[in-house]
Amino acid sequence: MDTYDGFWDRIARKYAAQPVDDVPSWEKTLDHIRRYLTVESHVLEIGGGTGSSALKLAGDAKDILSSDLSYEMVAIAEEKRAAANEERVRFLQGVAGDPQLRRDGGYDAVIALNLLHLLPDPPQSYRAVREMLKPGAVFLSKSACLKEMNIFVRMAIPLMKLVGKAPKYVQFFTGAELEQQLRDSGFEIVESCRYPTGGTTHFIVARRPN
Ligand SMILES: C[S@@+](CC[C@H](N)C(=O)[O-])C[C@H]1O[C@@H](n2cnc3c(N)ncnc32)[C@H](O)[C@@H]1O
């Protein structure tokens, strides 16, 4: 992505130092993801950040390739992997949909947590993800649906961009619009819910049809 402004690399160390802001929601999301994995699953994560989720899920799949646009995020993830001596997870720099992330035979699951609203061209990435999945396999995503947030949050984002406190690409969609974009990109919606309940963050399971 030649127009990347380096935002995520600049903030990576600070991001890594921050505690997860809602641990129960995160644990619930991971448990929900586990329902779709088996110890035979080949898993790709996109926008995996510093690898916290991939490392937590390591024992629930055969292997996990966790990728991220930011070299610095990947470097931190790799430090954590080495410290944990975890061999079932690999970390690789790559944008969502990057052909280098493909796996011969396809993946059983692709995971995207807190990413979809940050993609420059979401439908293009969804179509690429679809092609990387085996027929019948699932795309598991948790996304901030910014269009459902209050007006103050929505107005703050362009201002934050101006002062370098928000990334270049921020997409505004509702949960219903996100589901429709996934359908338009060739997925079937299997389920959709919110963590925390009633919030604006949607957990969506979409399947590549057989
Ligand atoms: C909000 S963080 C979420 C990280 C992690 N998934 C989590 O839940 O903690 C968004 C991550 O997406 C990455 N990212 C942003 N745009 C991306 C893109 N087009 N392709 C892949 N990763 C991207 C950023 O570098 C950052 O690590």
Q: What is the pLDDT of residue 3?
A: 80
Alpha-helical (H) ranges within the chain are 7-17, 23-34, 52-57, 71-84, 122-132, 151-162, 175-184
What are the domain boundaries of the chain? Answer: 7-207
pTM: 0.97
The reply to whether ligand 1 has any atom less than 6 angstroms from the CB of 95 is yes
| Pocket perturbation via mutation, ligand 1, pick of 26, 69, 117, 124 by most ligand atoms within 8 A of CB | 69
Cβ atoms within 10 Å, residue 54: 28
Q: Which atom of ligand 1 is nearest to the CA of 45?
A: 6
pLDDT in tens, 60-102: 999 999 999 999 999 999 999 999 999 999 999 999 989 999 9
CATH code reported for the domain at 7-207: 3.40.50.150
How far is CA 95 from each of CA 5, 68, 136, 188, rounded to the nearest angstrom?
A: 13, 6, 24, 24
**Residues with pLDDT less than 70, the chain:** 1-2
The reply to whether ligand 1 has any atom less than 6 angstroms from the CB of 114 is yes
The reply to whether ligand 1 has any atom less than 6 angstroms from the CB of 74 is no
Q: What is the pLDDT of residue 167?
A: 94
Q: What is the pLDDT of residue 189?
A: 98
Q: What is the pLDDT of residue 1?
A: 57
